[in-house]
Amino acid sequence: MGIDNDPTAISMAKPNARLNRIRGASFQLGDVHKWDSAKEPDVITANLYSDSLIEMMPKLGGSAWLILSGILRAQQDDFVRAQQQNHLDIISAKRRRKWMAFLARTRRL
Instruction: Please give the tally of structural domains in the chain.
Output: 2
Higher pLDDT, 83 or 109: 83
26 and 50 in a single domain? The answer is no
pLDDT at 61 over 90: no
User: Coil, strand, or helix at residue 48?
Assistant: coil
44 and 27 in a single domain? The answer is no
pLDDT at 109 over 60: no
Summarize the confidence of residues 10-36 as an average pLDDT: 85
Residue range of the domain that includes 5: 1-31
69 and 91 in a single domain? The answer is yes
27 and 53 in a single domain? The answer is no
Give the pLDDT confidence of 77-107 residue by residue, as tens digits: 999 999 899 888 999 999 999 999 999 998 7
54 and 86 in a single domain? The answer is yes
Residue 68 burial by Cβ neighbours in a 10 Å radius (0-12, 13-18, 19+): buried
Interatomic CA distance for residues 32 and 35, integer angstroms = 5
pLDDT at 3: 83
85 and 107 in a single domain? The answer is yes
5 and 44 in a single domain? The answer is no
